[in-house]
Amino acid sequence: MGEFRGVIDLGSNSVRLVIYRVDDHGFPWEVVDVKRSLRLIDHLRDDGTFAPEAVELVRAAVRDFLGRAELFGLGPESLVGVATQVFREARDGPIVLAALSQETGISFRLLAGEEEAFLGACGATAFLPFSRGVVVDVGGGSTEITAFRDGSFRGISVPWGAVDATRALSSDPPTRESVAALRRRISREIAAELARHPEIRAALSENGKDARTNADEWQSPVLIGIGGTVRSVARVLQAHAEYPLPLLHGYGFRRRDLERLAKHVLTRPLEARRRIRGLSSDRAEIIPGGVLVLLTVWEALGAGRLVVGERGLREGVLLASRCAEGKAGSAGRMRLFEASARRLRAFFPEGERSGEARARAAAALLDALEGAGYERLTAEERELVLWAARLRDVGRGIDSRSFLSHTFYLLLYGLLYGLTHRERVVFAAVASFSTRKATRKVVKPFAPLLSRDDRRRVVLLGTLLRLAELLGEGGGDVRAEVLPRGKKGATLVVSGMFRTPWLLHAQALEWTKKLGEALGVNLDLELGEVDGSFGRAPADI
């Protein structure tokens, strides 16, 4: 099952403890995330040192984190501590970190800006299947901008974040003049950095064209946004649009969406911002500076869309050596999906054998349909169907009687990477398919994400899995073939090791007919054992 590891991140706006279970392949899976909004950047004195109360806040938070880590059997030696911009800015930052390490036994490391950029991009690209683009992380006291391409990284850090940018606006709400002045100032600094690193802008162009604008596809190059500001913006946009799937990872939006939101938050005082749907009270305080920095960076880079990543710096800390060797970043889509699918399958390990039998039967049926010219899937689509077969009964880990509804929920909201939000809904609906009517009701809330062809495929492939479930009950290999029958008919010929073929035939025929309806063909069934004898009911006695 892997070991537990913990990362403590001391940031300018918040401090966090995240505990992971690291699997046998070295991949970290988040188990616990504890956040404390300390706003340390507001506790720097005029002489550039931390106020005493700031040091006490950090000490108390770290002691609390140590206690929580002990619940997972983690001592100080199993925790990694990192500190970012506010500790770089503070004159006594290294001294405070050294004292913390001495007091707690945790090794705290002050990250340089470029190292923070590398680790954030390393963690982000390990969980998103893009091969090329730029990662932007708007933090509390700095913003990291990192180009990535095929596992290599090149990043910069700009000393503007959500907290200090909000503070620089001086009034609440800020005046138009102060917004314009700060925007020009930040823009000049970013432009100067990008001029020194032309490879960053180049990572967002393809054959001289801007990054693609379809936010529902895993196509490179892409702008990836990570960190609290990006997540907050995404939550607000989802709430405003009444987006049906409240998942942030993989959610895409366009610059014009951010521009509209920026106008909204930059013209409203704090109390009005706190009433914005999807925005937390703490984040409402610093969202003006956050959106201003994000929008300025976005305009400087020139990308058309941004995709949200929920993983970043802390995951990068654990994956750093793999990223440095080019082994972790820019994960292939199916490799990423299969790693998370295997983890979900462990939720009901008792179903692994039957799941593989279903997958073999489903593969035989897909081969038969494709051979007869009825339905052709890409290699990735086919693999997703087979994984839907394997994970169909994962919901039994919650309740064996109403397991399909739990399967749908787990596949829709669980840690399942490599799928767009649309693909997630289709995948979960296919895996948990019961009847056409029931599935139509289940997917209705997600209708805005689905095309007509998506809904057709849910019925077709879900019906195919119901048939595969019956045919795979024997556990052995299944062979299938579709033969033409008359002008508008066909016969599905299936052979395998079946326990009671005559009884199975009656059940399988029902789903064969429904499969034919989904295909638009009158489909019959011939069921035989491997010796060629076809199942029939026993003779009357």
What are the tens digits of pLDDT across the range 7-52? 999 999 999 999 999 988 888 999 999 999 999 999 999 999 999 9
Strand partners, 20: 5, 30
Residue 80 sits in a domain whose CATH number is 3.30.420.40
| Domain annotation covers residue 243 | yes
Q: Quick one: 254 and 142 in the same domain?
A: yes
CA 106 – CA 8 distance, rounded (Å): 9
Tokens of 356: 């593989």
Of 110-114, 303-307, 481-485, 494-498, the least confident:
494-498
Q: Quick one: 96 and 148 in the same domain?
A: no
| Domain annotation covers residue 14 | yes
Kindly report the backbone phi and psi dihedral angles of residue 391, in degrees, each rounded to the nearest multiple of 5, phi listed first.
-100, 5
Q: Quick one: 461 and 348 in the same domain?
A: yes
Domain of residue 399: give its range. Answer: 335-474
| Domain annotation covers residue 370 | yes
Residues 475-505 pLDDT 10s: 778 999 999 998 789 999 999 877 777 778 8
Q: Quick one: 238 and 309 in the same domain?
A: yes
Collect contacts of 441-445 with beta carbons under 8 A, ≥24 apart.
442/405, 442/408, 445/244
Q: Quick one: 129 and 268 in the same domain?
A: yes
Place of tokens 């799928």: 419
Residue 530 banded pLDDT, cuts 50, 70, 90:
low
Q: Quick one: 73 and 135 in the same domain?
A: no
Angle of helix 421-431 versus helix 379-390 axis, rounded to 10: 50
Residue ending a domain, among 414, 439, 474, is 474
CA 462 – CA 385 distance, rounded (Å): 9
In the prediction, which pLDDT does 322 show? Answer: 87
Residues 203-256 pLDDT 10s: 998 643 444 444 456 777 899 999 999 999 999 999 999 999 999 999 999 999
| Domain annotation covers residue 497 | no
CA 156 – CA 115 distance, rounded (Å): 9
Q: Quick one: 299 and 370 in the same domain?
A: no
Q: Quick one: 158 and 300 in the same domain?
A: yes
pTM of the model as a whole: 0.90
Residue 324 banded pLDDT, cuts 50, 70, 90:
confident
| Domain annotation covers residue 168 | yes
Residue 285 sits in a domain whose CATH number is 3.30.420.150
Q: Quick one: 87 and 25 in the same domain?
A: yes
Q: Which phi-psi region, left, alpha or beta, contains residue 209 (left: φ > 0; alpha: ψ -120 to 50)?
A: beta
Q: Is residue 535 pLDDT above 50, yes or no?
A: no
- Tell how many helices (H) and how many strands (E) occur in the chain: 20, 16
For all residues of the chain together, what is the average pLDDT?
92
Q: Cβ atoms within 10 A of the Cβ of 178, count?
A: 15
Q: Is residue 407 pLDDT above 80, yes or no?
A: yes
| Domain annotation covers residue 377 | yes
Residues 350-394 pLDDT 10s: 999 999 999 999 999 999 999 999 999 999 999 999 999 999 999
| Domain annotation covers residue 519 | no
Residue ending a domain, among 110, 130, 160, is 110
Q: Quick one: 144 and 283 in the same domain?
A: yes
Q: Quick one: 82 and 156 in the same domain?
A: no
Number of domains in the chain: 3
Q: Which helix (H) or strand (E) holds 30?
A: strand 28-36
Tokens of 435: 């009847």
CB 17 within 8 A of CB 115: no
Q: Quick one: 157 and 30 in the same domain?
A: no
